[in-house]
């Protein structure tokens, strides 16, 4: 369930991109204006992720309230609003609502993984969660391209709205609290107030960009840079693909009719399959490195042992596959595996070292990466 909510955030943006020309024609505007809605939604996802993660740590259940009671209804309402928009003003406003609803998926979901899995299993669990979420960049353009070419971009947004509502119902009735008792920030604040003879607070206002302060730590900053370096390799391959393939094949030559957005979107699939397969394997490998080096030190554990698992991805697979993809797209699958070798270990490491603020740590690194990539 938490993987699906994380997938939703990537699906919201991924299904929109292939539909930009159709949306521009439908709303009687230009593709450049419509594409600004993508940048707006990315910014809102970054801000919403940090806000939801802060309140989930301080006040709320890690997922029961933040994602089910607040995020998913916003996602559903915003999706229907986008689908029924009549002009760009309405489109932009509803995209903000939609993005805010999708925003807590990855950061708060990572906090849930940290809550319910112990150290030796956390890497594999985070790998499964990350791999399922990273199916979004592969499947979303295919779904969006199919809707744009064979149906309507509005129907795609309505489908996201229905999926958000169904997920809300399922999580509302079946998802239990995962945050450990007496660990919420508001509980600690109330206890301190009682000890000091003050009236316990009922609610606190938090800085929506407060998690960014965690990046003042050199360890967190460089961890963020490592994750961003891996993630940007995904975007530099995927974002230009529609333009490069269209210009290469629709004007002369080897493969005709690739101006179809659905067929072009199929080129996104290999990387998504690589992400889905590679993430659990990379997570298991990071767990293995933790167990191995802890045994090597007679039971002494260093969180940095997990980062040893990033070497195959960041040191070998990603750079070699980027070079290879300059010649052919056959290697997208392996680049997907390389990205997971880095992200699974990096996300698990952030949860390891910032366990009580795991959601905030993930939101800070994700927000920085998203804004930088956009």
pLDDT digits (tens, 9 = 90+) for 206-217: 677 777 777 788
Q: Band the pLDDT of 289: cuts 50, 70, 90.
A: confident
What angle in degrees, to the nearest 10, is found between the helix axes of 332-353 and 358-373? 140
In angstroms, what is the C-alpha Rg of the chain?
Answer: 21
Question: What pLDDT was estimated at residue 133?
Answer: 80
Q: Which two tokens stand for residue 100?
A: 């805010």
How confident is the model over 263-279, as pLDDT tens digits? 767 777 777 777 777 77
Domains annotated for the chain, with CATH where assigned, are 2-373 (1.20.1250.20)
pLDDT exceeds cutoff 80 at 200:
no
How far is the C-alpha of 141 from the C-alpha of 260, rounded, in Å?
12
pLDDT digits (tens, 9 = 90+) for 334-360: 766 777 677 777 777 777 777 666 666
| Residue-level pLDDT at 258 | 55
Tokens of 232: 């940007």
Cα 339 off chain centre by: 13
- The average confidence (pLDDT) of the chain is 75
Better-scored residue on pLDDT, 23 or 328: 23
* φ and ψ at residue 259, rounded to 5 degrees: -85, 0
Q: Is 252 left (phi over 0), alpha (psi -120 to 50) or beta?
A: left
Write down the pLDDT at residue 98: 92
CA distance 366 to 374: 12
Percent of the chain with pLDDT over 70: 70
Least confident of 21-30, 94-103, 172-181, 219-228: 172-181
Least confident of 74-88, 140-154, 178-192, 354-368: 178-192
Least confident of 120-129, 134-143, 282-291: 134-143
Q: Shortest CA distance to 128 belongs to which of 259, 10, 275?
A: 275
The pLDDT of residue 79: 92
Residue 94 — pLDDT band, cuts 50, 70, 90?
Answer: very high
pLDDT of residue 239: 60
pLDDT of residue 337: 74
pTM of full prediction above 0.85:
no
Confidence of residue 233 (pLDDT cuts 50, 70, 90): confident
Q: 220 pLDDT exceeds 90?
A: no
pLDDT at 201 over 70: no
Measured distance CA(80)–CA(158) in Å, rounded: 5
Residue 131 and residue 86: Cα distance in Å, rounded? 36
- pLDDT per residue over 4-50, tens digit each? 888 877 788 778 777 777 888 888 888 778 878 877 877 888 788 77
Predicted confidence at residue 328, as pLDDT, reads: 63
57 within 8 A of 356, measured Cβ to Cβ: yes
More confident residue, 18 or 62: 18
């Amino acid at each position: 369930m938490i993987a699906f909510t994380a997938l939703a955030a990537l699906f919201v943006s991924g299904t929109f991109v292939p539909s930009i020309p159709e949306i521009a024609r439908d709303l009687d505007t230009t593709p450049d204006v419509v594409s600004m809605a993508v940048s707006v939604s990315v910014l809102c996802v970054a801000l919403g992720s940090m806000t939801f993660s802060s309140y989930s740590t301080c006040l709320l259940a890690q997922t029961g309230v933040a994602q089910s009671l607040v995020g998913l209804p916003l996602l559903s309402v915003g999706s229907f609003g986008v689908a029924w928009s009549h002009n760009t003003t309405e489109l932009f406003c509803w995209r903000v609502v939609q993005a805010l609803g999708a925003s807590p998926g990855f950061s708060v979901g990572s906090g849930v993984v940290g809550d319910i899995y112990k150290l030796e299993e956390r890497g594999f669990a985070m790998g499964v969660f990350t791999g399922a979420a990273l199916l979004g960049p592969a499947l979303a353009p295919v779904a969006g391209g199919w809707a744009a070419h064979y149906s309507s971009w509005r129907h795609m947004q309505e489908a996201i709205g229905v999926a958000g509502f169904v997920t809300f119902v399922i999580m509302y009735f079946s998802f239990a609290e995962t945050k450990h008792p007496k660990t919420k920030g508001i509980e600690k604040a109330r206890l301190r107030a009682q000890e000091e003879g003050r009236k316990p607070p009922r609610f606190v206002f938090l800085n929506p960009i407060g998690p960014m302060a965690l990046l003042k730590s050199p360890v967190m900053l460089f961890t963020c840079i490592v994750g961003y370096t891996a993630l940007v390799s995904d975007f530099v391959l995927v974002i230009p693909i529609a333009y490069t393939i269209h210009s290469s094949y629709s004007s002369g030559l080897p493969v005709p009719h690739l101006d179809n957005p659905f067929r072009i979107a199929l080129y996104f699939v290999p990387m998504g399959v690589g992400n889905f397969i590679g993430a659990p394997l990379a997570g298991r490998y990071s767990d293995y490195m933790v167990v191995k080096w802890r045994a090597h030190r007679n039971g002494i554990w260093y969180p940095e042992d997990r980062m040893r698992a990033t070497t195959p991805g960041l040191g070998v697979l990603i750079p070699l596959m980027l070079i290879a993809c300059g010649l052919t797209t056959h290697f997208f699958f392996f680049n997907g595996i390389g990205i997971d070798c880095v992200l699974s270990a990096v996300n698990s490491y952030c949860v390891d070292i910032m366990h009580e603020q795991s959601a905030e740590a993930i939101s800070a690194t994700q927000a920085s990466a998203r804004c930088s990539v956009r």
